[in-house]
A and B are shown apart, each in its own frame.
Chain A
Amino acid sequence: MRRVVITGTGMVSPLGSGTEVTWQRLLAGQNGARLVTEFEVEDLPAKIACRIPVGDGSDGTFNADQWLEPKEQRKVDPFILYGMAAAEMALNDAGWHPKTDDDQIATGVLIGSGIGGLEGIVEAGYTLRDKGPRRVSPFFIPGRLINLVSGQVSIRHKLRGPNHSVVTACSTGAHAIGDAARLIIFGDADVMVAGGTESPVCRIGLAGFAACKALSTQHNDDPTKASRPYDRDRDGFVMGEGAGIVVLEELEHAKARGAKIYAEVVGYGLSGDAYHITAPSEDGDGAFRCMTMALKRAGLSPSDLDYINAHGTSTMADTIELGAVERLVGNAASKVSMSSTKSAIGHLLGAAGAVEAIFATLSIRDNIVPPTLNLDNPDVDTAIDLVPHTARKRDVNVALSNSFGFGGTNASLVLKRYDA
């Protein structure tokens, strides 16, 4: 069977623009949450979010002009902009800029988003209501469609292979990477640019998730304490924004061009809860089956796991996932570390699975696991190391990343150190 490795990463996150700056700040225990000041939040129950630091591009800030011409920026929702920026970072990191017909046709794109252009749809709705249909922009549709991230990336970089997208709520990023890896395994492409992107931080985004009772509302006065997975005082997730993109590559293709290899994508599992539209099944069976499938595909056993990047949203569901992991690892519980990086960057929804898969990849590269911030009073008694407060150096050869989404859609990725 063809093997798939990660040869490039790109990221725009609440901790910064770029994979390395985000990773270093994550390991240092920094937190991206703050009060939202860009729009009215007085009447919203959740007034905080993890926002991308915007600036001139220095010191890890995100400068949109570096990634997309100003006249093009106003034609697309921010989720497309973030995805395009992260994809370009990933391609640069991989050193993959296909010029020949064969190379362009062998390279595809599979980038998803959980919701797409939420804010732009609202704005166009106002325009339609207030000014009529003749004032709805011709860029309204192509600037909001979820698959237009894949479209824009393919157009910009002349990637002419499979062009696809995923929409599975908070599992989007993980599904995108898993599905893209399979396209390579099947031989439909040799290289895939894959991941997720999201820009949900706007009034309707906060109002909608708050209505679902999904958001933290009790820490508006102390935003960096709000996302606290596994802690007894957790009360919902903190919304985040950004994008995570990887370059996946068939192993021999990567070796032939001397590419840097971060890790191998060895396992991918998927399952459905068939239970509830927003709540995970209480027995955690969907999560358990998904992780089990991914390990089986990888040919590994639960005791091989060193690190798990948890879905861990800082909601009641944290303990359901933890229960599923305990069931999975059994007596090997004391050997595995599991943290939720949502404690630092919030929940990036459709981008979460991709950003977190990159974190899991870097934990293998650097033999260190990022912390679960704010875990002051664990709500659970477990033998699993939840990596409270500070990053921990430890051997990491196999890492698993979990993502679970509304609709009861679950995805797990297993990554493994690549030894030449």
Chain B
Amino acid sequence: MSDIAERVKKIVIDHLGVDADKVVEGASFIDDLGADSLDTVELVMAFEEEFGVEIPDDAADSILTVGDAVKFIEKAQA
């Protein structure tokens, strides 16, 4: 796993209180990890804070899985 993926995973574990082994690339925040719509807003804020990137609302709407988040951040930091 990349450094970004590890940091994303840690944020997801902390915020959603889920087991580490469930936080896989294809895991959906809402369908697989028990998040509700407010949790996902907070997750996006945490990603912004951790990586110093801005995630506009329309982009945030398309970040549905752990992998989506990692990809977006990698692209934003490239």
B17 at the interface (CB under 8 A from A): yes
CA distance A139 to B41 in the complex (A): 10
Which of B16, B38, B48, B49 touches A138 (beta carbons < 8 Å)? B38
Contact with A along B39-60 (1 / 0, CB 8 A): 0011001001100000000000
**B71 at interface by CB-CB < 8 Å:** no
B15 within 8 A of A: yes
Q: Are B45 and A135 touching (Cβ within 8 A)?
A: yes
Q: Which of A70, A71, A134, A137 contacts B48 (CB 8 A)?
A: A134
Give bound CA distance, A152 to B2, whole Å: 39
Residue interface bits A130-168, CB-to-B below 8 A is 1, else 0: 000011011100100000000000000000000000000
Contact yes or no, A134 B45, CB < 8 A: yes
A69 within 8 A of B: yes
Interface residues of B in 11-57 (CB under 8 A from A): 15-17, 38, 41-42, 45, 48-49
Q: Of A70, A134, A135, A138, which one neighbours B17 at CB under 8 angstroms?
A: A70
Are A138 and B42 in contact, CB atoms less than 8 angstroms apart? yes
Please report the number of residue pairs spanning A and B whose Cβ atoms sit closer than 8 angstroms.
17
Return chain B residues, CB-CB under 8 Å to A134: 45, 48
Interface residue SS majority, chain B: helix
CA A138 – CA B49 in complex, angstroms? 15
- Are the CB atoms of B42 and A69 closer together than 8 Å? no
Residue of A nearest to B41 (CB): A138
Write the nearest CB–CB distance from A87 to chain B, whole angstroms.
22
Report the interface size class on chain B.
under 10
Q: In the assembled complex, which residues on chain B have CB atoms less than 8 Å from the CB atom of A139?
A: 38, 42
Enumerate chain B residues within 8 angstroms of A70, measured Cβ to Cβ.
Answer: 17
Which of A69, A71, A135, A142 contacts B49, CB < 8 Å?
A: A135
Shortest CB-to-CB span from B41 to chain A, Å, is 4
CA distance A225 to B39 in the complex (A): 46
Question: Please, how many residues of chain A have a CB less than 8 angstroms from a CB on the other chain?
Answer: 9
A19 CA / B25 CA spacing, docked (Å): 47
| A137: chain B residues within 8 A (beta carbon) | 42, 45
B42 surroundings in chain A (CB, below 8 A): 137-139
Residue of B nearest to A142 (CB): B38
Assembled-state Cα–Cα distance A223/B16 (Å)? 41
Instruction: Provide the residues of chain A in CB contact with B15, threshold 8 Å.
Output: 71
In the complex, how many angstroms separate the beta carbon of B17 from the nearest chain A beta carbon? 3
Q: Mark B51-76, 1 if CB is under 8 A from A, else 0.
A: 00000000000000000000000000
Determine if B41 and A71 form an interchain contact, defined as CB atoms under 8 angstroms apart.
no
Tell me, in angstroms, the Cα distance from A71 to B13 when the chains sit together.
10
Q: What residues of chain A lie closer than 8 Å to B49, measured between beta carbons?
A: 135
Q: How far, in angstroms, from A138 to B42 measured CA to CA in the complex?
A: 6
A202 to B: closest C-beta gap in Å: 23
The docked-state distance in angstroms from the alpha carbon of A142 to that of B37 is: 13
Q: Please determine whether B45 and A69 come into contact, CB atoms closer than 8 angstroms.
A: no
Shortest Cβ gap from A167 to chain B (Å): 24
Question: Taking CB as reference atom, which chain B residue is nearest A137?
Answer: B42
The answer for the CA separation of A137 and B49 in the assembled complex, in Å, is 12
Task: Give Cα A137–Cα B48 distance, bound, in whole angstroms.
Answer: 13
A residues in contact with B48, CB < 8 Å = 134
The answer to whether B38 touches A71 (Cβ under 8 A) is no
Chain A residues near B45: list those with CB within 8 A.
134-135, 137
Alpha-carbon distance between A304 and B58 when the two chains are bound, in angstroms: 68
Contact partners of A135 in chain B: CB under 8 A: 45, 49
Distance of A135 Cα from B15 Cα, bound (Å): 15
Min CB gap B21→A, angstroms: 17
Shortest distance from the beta carbon of A126 to any chain B beta carbon, whole Å: 15
CB contacts (< 8 Å) of B17 on chain A: these are 69-71
| Beta-carbon nearest neighbor of B39 in chain A | A138
**B41 surroundings in chain A (CB, below 8 A):** 138
How far, in Å, is B63 (CB) from chain A's closest CB? 15
Closest residue of chain B to A73, judged by CB?
B17
Question: Looking across the interface, which residue of chain B has its beta carbon closest to that of A71?
Answer: B17
Within 8 A of B (CB), among A48-62: none
- Hey, which bits of chain B sit against chain A, CB under 8 A? 15-17, 38, 41-42, 45, 48-49
Ordered by A's residue number, 8 sampled pairs between the chains whose C-beta atoms are within 8 Å are A69-B17, A70-B17, A71-B16, A134-B45, A135-B49, A137-B45, A138-B38, A142-B38
Taking beta carbons and an 8 Å cutoff, which residues of A are in contact with B? Answer: 69-71, 134-135, 137-139, 142
| New contact pairs (15) apart from A134-B45, A138-B38, CB-CB < 8 Å | A69-B17, A70-B17, A71-B15, A71-B16, A71-B17, A134-B48, A135-B45, A135-B49, A137-B42, A137-B45, A138-B41, A138-B42, A139-B38, A139-B42, A142-B38
